[in-house]
Amino acid sequence: MNVKLPTIFFFSALMAATAYAQEYKLVWSDEFDDNTIGKNWNAEVVSVPSNNELQYYTDRPSNVKIEGGNLMLTARRESYGSRYFTSGRVNSSNKVSFTHGKIEARIKMPRLANGLWPAFWLMGEDITTAGWPACGEIDVMEAGHQTGIKNNTSERYFAGCIHWGKSIPEHQMYSSGAVTSTYDITGDYHLFTAVWDENMLKCYLDDAVVPYFQASIGKGTASGDYFHKPFHLLFNLAVGGDYPGIYSLAGITALPQEGSEAKMYVDYVRVYQKEGTANAVWGQNDRGGEAIPSALRPVHPAANVVSIFSDAYVPAGNGGFDTWGSPGEVLSVVYPSADDAVQKVANFLYAGYNFNADYSVIDLSAMHRLHADIYTDKAFSIGMTPVSKDPSGDYTKNREYVIRYPLQPGWNSLDAALADYTAGNPGIDLTQIHQMKWDGGDAASDIYIDNVYFYKTAGSGISGVQAGRAAARWYTLKGEQLSAAPQVAGLYICDGRKVVMNQLKK
């Protein structure tokens, strides 16, 4: 049975039993007693991970979830996209970050040999602007290395490490060497602790007083400029790749057959900082404290809608957003309000949405229009298209027709006639739509996507009646832009949609 100390009342006892207890006070923790994915954690979606890893990271509950007081990451042998394994990875970027402290995570790892690579680590919060390795990386614990596999000590062999450098060609790393524990660190819970200050980084296993890894990071050292700024947390369970030294399906004996699973459990993660130096930041939304307003809530009757991604409707499929290998992109779900989930695409270049996890199609032949809300910080042109599967099943022959739409800072309501897509490419079959696609980013900016759905139009062409908002863009039916929200009742165009305004001045 997994038993935890109560979150508040026993911290002093817990701290007394750990290294440097008297110097540190708890400033933040996640006990995983509630679902904090989206609040504290971004569940990543990565189709082509780094380090030649073999898994597809998804945000599906079958790979990432909080259950039974644990964050649970599940690696599975299954065909998904172009991969033969799936797994989970979470980060706290733009949700929880801090500089220096004592960081603890109580983790139960699965049997590792051969091919599993679990990790508990930290990354510089400025990764989206500085890039890697300039952001700095602290690997508190990673296990499953090929040396342990070779020596048949995988369940006892693990390491810590740091990475830094101005650019990838100038990448530097330091590890004081992996250690072989006297006991198995898999199959049960063990505590991994990093003590990080202005001069040193030290990592400990369980109640040890001697660190298994330490590095000098003080001023004047080669790494000193990279590790004294806010960092965020990460947990992941990789399959294969450079660390285990396994690059083939057959080599992953830890997941021997289709459907085999391995689970990594995180019982809690806690951040302590010294008295008078607390700087942990949490409880913000994904834009670091700058509020993202919610898009207007759709008003079309549910019976007339096939929804892909919107809190206003039940989704038609079980798929999700995908970067399709776009370099540097990171997907995460953010919450402008408690009941409004929005998809963030960081470093947007191009992105897509698979309607179903198995790439099966949805019949949209009864629908007339496509809707998507896009939030951006700057003006640019975005391409959008539904994607039709070729009858042969060859994904390289997918049928699409990209139409470009101008975006302005703020929420943009894209509302397009499906007939425009089929006219542009008569090969698009509305009975065989299985994906959405957006492109046109510069790989340095972020976008937010909400309310992606298809709908039938009413005979009048008026999709709904809703209140206006001063920040929206308003036009008369003649196309004349208004300087502010209408002050006279009537029919107008608001962000691409027809809107009836009533009870106004006449």
CB half-sphere exposure, 45, CA atoms < 13 A: 24
d(CA 161, CA 427): 53
Smallest CA-to-CA distance from 359 within 327, 402, 388 is with 388
Residue 115's contacts (CB-CB under 8 Å, 6 or more residues apart) are: 54, 144, 239, 240, 244, 246, 251, 252, 253, 254, 255
93: tokens are: 């970027």
Kind and range of the H or E element at 147?
helix 146-150
- CA dihedral sign, ordered 480, 481, 482, 488: positive
d(CA 343, CA 336): 11
Q: How far is CA 28 from CA 123, 229, 233, 272, 281, in A?
A: 17, 17, 12, 7, 9
Sheet strands side by side (includes 497-501): 474-475, 490-494, 497-501
Among 232, 228, 218, CA closest to 277: 228
Phi-psi region of 466 (alpha: psi -120 to 50; beta: other; left: phi over 0): beta
Q: How many CB atoms lie within 10 A of CB 337?
A: 13
Query: Following CA atoms 36, 39, 41, 42 in sequence, which dihedral angle do they give, to the nearest 10 degrees?
Result: 120
**Dmax over Cα atoms in the chain, in whole Å?**
84
Helix spans in 373-459 (H): 418-424
CA distances (Å), origin 373, targets 125, 196, 383: 28, 42, 13
Q: Distance between CA atoms of 238 and 54, rounded to whole angstroms?
A: 8
Per-residue pLDDT of the chain (506 residues; tens, 9 = 90+): 333 333 333 333 343 334 444 588 888 999 999 899 988 999 999 998 989 999 999 999 999 999 999 999 999 999 998 899 999 999 999 889 999 999 999 999 999 999 999 999 999 999 888 889 999 999 999 999 999 999 999 999 999 999 999 999 999 999 988 899 999 999 999 999 999 999 999 999 998 999 999 999 998 899 989 999 999 999 999 999 999 999 999 999 999 999 999 999 999 999 999 877 888 887 654 433 345 788 888 989 999 999 999 989 988 988 888 888 788 888 877 777 666 778 889 899 999 999 988 888 999 999 999 999 999 988 999 999 999 988 877 777 889 999 999 999 889 999 999 999 999 999 999 999 999 999 999 888 899 999 999 999 865 444 444 433 334 566 665 556 676 777 776 666 665 555 655 544 33
Q: 445: exposed, middle or buried (C-beta count within 10 Å: 0-12, 13-18, 19+)?
A: middle
